Amino acid sequence: MERFHSLTVPKIGERERIDKYIARFIENASRTKVQKAIDLGYVTVNGEVVKSNYLVKPEDEIEIELDVPEKQDVLPENIPLDIRYEDPNLMVINKPAGMVVHPAYKNYSGTLVNAVLYYSGLHDGSLSKLNGFERAGIVHRLDKDTSGLIVIAKDEVTHRKLSEQFFHHTIEREYNALVWGKFRQSKGTIETRLGRDKRDRKKVAVLKDGDESGKKAVTHYEVIAEFEFLSLVKLNLETGRTHQIRVHMAYEGHPVFGDETYGGREPHSVNKTSRLVSTAKNLLEIMPRQALHARVLGFIHPSSREKLRFESELPDDIQRVLDKLEDLLNSKRTV
């Protein structure tokens, strides 16, 4: 049986529980196996973790991974956490690049879930209601090689209310990215429909005009700084689709610097001189991942109703590339 599956819900007359819906459409996937995958956080709807009693609706984009670890394999691990905020209801964590959020195929340890479970065990049960042992309160995800802010719910009510804010796109999410090339316009909006790449199911693609499968995706961008062959951009998500920024930037001809999946490890420039290629190669050695950072996270606190907003500085690897780009720019000015 394939490990990875994606489904887009068509127009349906009656809403149905997601565990029943998935079991009907994936061969040899029992409802028990599907429920286990859901409990472990390996089923998302429109990029967000859901429960077995979630009722599917038209145009929901469901992603499923059925090759999941046993519960006893998801163990607490002593991994340091950069906690930026904590109260009885939730935590905001600054996730480093290279850390997977959920245990998954070939990544059963060293994840954010493993770290949060260990942290909860050190605090007298204060984090004992983390939306189920295996999911550890995860509300949303960041890609393994994307750094930045992520919120963790400590109880079911907080999880549900935060999930509703993500669903209704009222969460403030701002990213910084280094991307290839210079933009014709200093700011703009990218709006497409995204769906699974038919040639590679692990990738996401922009769908052709008229293809109503997949989901609408909207990204707002603004150029912060320009260099010889790279730009630093601010990106605000109106929607939160899988790989949205990475796919949208590549679609516009500006792949995220260092992004191996979407063409970001090859120079994209109208002037591919030997000097540029050499400089780019040196910078790519500093940046072994996509140069994408979730810098701002803002939401309404589910209990106090207070507006919370958090910022995270650029990580060292992105900052080192920026410093070298600044040095190159200054050296050209003095010539």
Model confidence pLDDT, tens digit, residues 199-217? 777 788 898 877 777 788 9
200 is catalytic: no
Residue 51 has pLDDT above 70, yes or no: yes
Catalytic residue among 19, 39, 60, 143: 143
What's the pLDDT tens digit per position in 234-244?
A: 999 988 888 99
What DSSP element (H or E) covers 194? strand 187-197
Higher pLDDT, 39 or 188: 188
Q: What's the CATH number for 174-294+316-334?
A: 3.30.2350.10
What's the confidence (pLDDT) of residue 72? 47
Residue 83 has pLDDT above 50, yes or no: yes
- Give me the chain's average pLDDT, please: 86
Torsional class of 46: left (φ above 0), alpha (ψ -120 to 50), beta (otherwise): left
Which CATH number is 4-65's, of 3.40.50.2300, 3.90.580.10, 3.10.290.10, 3.40.50.300? 3.10.290.10
Query: Any idea which of 77-86, 153-162, 207-216, 297-306 has the lowest mean pLDDT?
Result: 207-216
Q: Domain-by-domain residue ranges, the chain?
A: 4-65, 74-166, 174-294+316-334
List the end-to-end C-alpha distance of the chain, in Å, as a whole number.
Answer: 62
Q: What 8-state DSSP symbol labels residue 144?
A: T
Nearest to 147 by CA among 316, 326, 298: 316
Query: Any idea which of 41-45, 268-272, 314-318 has the lowest mean pLDDT?
Result: 268-272
Decide if 74-166 and 174-294+316-334 have a common fold.
yes
Is 97 in a helix, a strand, or coil? coil
Cα–Cα distance measured from residue 27 to residue 283, given in angstroms and rounded to the nearest whole number: 46
Report yes or no: 300 and 170 within 8 Å, Cβ to Cβ.
yes
Is 21 in a helix, a strand, or coil? helix
Confidence of residue 84 (pLDDT cuts 50, 70, 90): very high
Residue 192 has pLDDT above 80, yes or no: yes
* Cα radius of gyration (the chain): 21
Query: Any idea which of 56-60, 87-91, 206-210 has the lowest mean pLDDT?
Result: 206-210
Confidence of residue 79 (pLDDT cuts 50, 70, 90): very high
What's the confidence (pLDDT) of residue 135? 60
Torsional class of 31: left (φ above 0), alpha (ψ -120 to 50), beta (otherwise): alpha
* Tokens of residue 103, six digits: 């245990």
What's the pLDDT tens digit per position in 144-170?
A: 999 999 999 988 888 889 988 988 889
Q: Residue 271 CB: number of other CB atoms within 10 A?
A: 9
Residue 328 has pLDDT above 80, yes or no: yes
Residue with tokens 């007359």: 13
Give exposure, 231-268, as e/b (b: 16+ Cβ within 10 Å): bbbbbebeebbbbbbbbbbbbbebbbbbbebbebbebb
Name the CATH superfamily for 74-166.
Answer: Pseudouridine synthase (3.30.2350.10)
Residue 299 has pLDDT above 90, yes or no: yes
